A and B are shown apart, each in its own frame.
Chain A
Amino acid sequence: MQIVVIDYGMSNLGSIGNALSECGAENVIIANDPKELKSATHIILPGVGSFKDGMDNLVKFGFKDAIRDAALVDKVPILGICLGMQLMADKGYEGGEVDGLGLISGVVDKLKPVNKQEKIPHVGWNEIYCKQKNPIFEGIPDGTDFYFVHSYHFIPKKKSNILSETPYCGNFVSSIVSDNIYGTQFHPEKSQRPGFQLLRNFIKL
C-alpha cells in the first residue's frame, strides 16, 4: 500500500496525514513531485482555497497530467476532498471561468440559497443521503452528519456520478463517483468517526 497525498500548496496536510494513520494506513507519502504518483496505490487530492488558485498550482507543480494519467489510465483509486473534489470538474467559476482536471464531467458554481435561513458559506455539520450503493459508504447510514465548509459546489453533468446529496440550497451534490474516482465536498478527515470510516473504506479499495 502506498497512499500519496498531493501537496500543491493548497491545503493542510497534517490533519489528513494524521487521520489516515488513525485509520490504519501505512506508507502515507506527502508528495510535491508528480513522479511520486507512479508508485501510488491510492491518491488523495485535498484542498482549501479558490478554484483558480488550486488549478494554477496543480499546473505549476506539473500535477495536472500526472493526476489524469493515474486516475484515467492506471485507474488508481483517487479521492478529492473539498476543493480537491471541485477541481475534478471540467470547469469552475470561482475567480473567473477556469478549466479543471476534467475527471468527472460537470461544473463548479456558487451555492444558491433557497430561503433566508440558508447562509453562504455552508459551514458546519450536515447530513448525507446516498443516491447509489458504494463500498466507500459501507457502515455509514443515510442521515449521518459530516463536516462542510464551502461556498461552491460540484454540479455533475450525469446523474450516475452523484454518490450523495445533502439537504441545503435545494439538495446539493455532496459526493461524486466515477469508477475509481471519488470526490467528497465534506471533510472526512474532520468528520470524526464517520469520516474515519469513509477513509478506511477508501484505503480498502
Chain B
Amino acid sequence: MLKTRIIPTLLWKNVGLVKGIGFDSWRRVGSLLPAIRVYNTRQVDELILVDITATDEHRSPDFETVNEISCECFVPFTVGGGIKSTQDIKELLRCGADKVAINSAAFKSPQLISEGAQIFGSQCIVASIDAKKNSRGKYECYSNSGKKNEHIEVGEWAKKLEELGAGEILITSIEQDGTMKGYDTNLIRTITKVVSIPVIASGGAGNYEDMYKAIEKGKASAVAAASIFHYTQQTPMEAKEYLATKNVPVRITKISQDDHSSDRGLVLGLF
C-alpha cells in the first residue's frame, strides 16, 4: 500500500534556515546543510526546500546550493522558489532535485506547468498554492510569498493546475502557517474534492493529531510541517508511530533501531 508521507519543510533565505508566522516575522532557525544531515539519518519520507526570497528578489533558483544539498541528501526532495522557465526546472533536476515546486510563475505563465509536465513528466511538477480566506469566506490564491492576491479561488486554480499537468498540489494556509494551531482542513478538502492528483497539506501543524486530521478530514496524501519539528520535541518518526495507531499507512523501517531522540527540535538544537 502507498504510504502517507510526512514531509519536513525547510525554508531558506541566504543559506540560512528560517521560519515565520503567517508568512511574516521570519526568524533564523539554523543552517540548511546540518539540518539536512540530521534528516538524512531519520526516517523522513521526503523534504521540501523553498528559497523564499528568490521570486521577490527576481533571482533564479540558487543552483549551487541545490547542488550542495543533493550531494548530502539521500532523502527525495522537492525544490521551490524562483522557478520561471523550463530551463530552471531542467537545471534543478540536474542539480539533484527530484521534484520542483512552482507557485508565482504559474499565474504569469501557466504554460510553464504544461511544458514542464510534457518535458520532464507530471510526476516531478509540484504546483504550490498559498491561500488565504477573503471577507466572504472564500479561499483566494496568493503569489510572491503571500504578498500578492491573485484573486483566483483555490478550487478553480487547483483544477486548472491539474489540467495543465501538475503531478501534485502543495496547499499552504497562509493564516495557519507557523501558528502551530492545526491545518486548515476545510481548505485542504476544498482542493482534494476537485482534483485527483495527490495533495500535500501544509501550514499549521502543531501536533500529531493535527496531521491525522489533515489526512482523515482533509484527505491529504501527505503532510508537510516545519515549526513542529524546529521548535518542539516532536519528531517525524513519532508522528508516524502516532498515525500508525490510527490506522494510517506509514513507512516505519524496522531495520533501523536507531534512537531518534536527537532530531527533537533539531534545528534549534544545533546552537
Contacts and interface: CB of A to CB of B under 8 A. Distances in A.
A2 interface: no
B1 A48 contact: no
A124 B73 contact: no
A147 B76 contact: yes
Given A14-B67, A168-B2, A190-B75, 9 more contacts: A12-B95, A14-B70, A15-B73, A49-B121, A94-B121, A121-B123, A124-B46, A124-B198, A167-B1
Given A119-B196, A121-B198, A12 B121 contact: no
A62 interface: no
A22 interface: yes
11 contacts: A11-B93, A48-B121, A95-B118, A121-B121, A121-B167, A123-B5, A123-B168, A126-B1, A150-B121, A151-B123, A192-B43
B255 A22 contact: no
Interface string B91-123: 001111111000000000000000000111111
Pick from A19, A49, A116, A168 the residue with the most CB of B within 10 Å.
A49
Interface in B112-153: 118-124
Given A19-B74, A145-B251, A190-B76, A123 B95 contact: no
3 shortest A-B CB distances, which residue pairs?
A: A121-B123, A12-B96, A14-B96
B216 to A, nearest CB: 13
Contacts of A9: 94
Given A14-B67, A124-B2, A150 B123 contact: yes
Nearest to B40: A192
Size category of the A interface is: 35 or more
Given A22-B74, A190-B76, A149 B2 contact: no
Given A124-B5, A124-B45, A125-B2, A119 B198 contact: yes
Interface of B: 1-5, 43, 45-46, 67, 70-71, 73-76, 93-99, 118-124, 167-168, 196-198, 221-222, 251, 253, 255-256
Contacts of A14: 67, 70-71, 95-96
Nearest to A143: B254
Contact of A125 (B124, B196, B197, B251): B251
Interface in A50-78: 50, 53
Which of B71, B99, B122, B123 counts the most chain A CB atoms within 10 A?
B123
Nearest to B198: A119
A78 to B, nearest CB: 22
Interface string A105-134: 000000000001011111111110000000
B3 A12 contact: no
Contacts of A187: 76, 98
Nearest to A190: B76
Contacts of A38: none
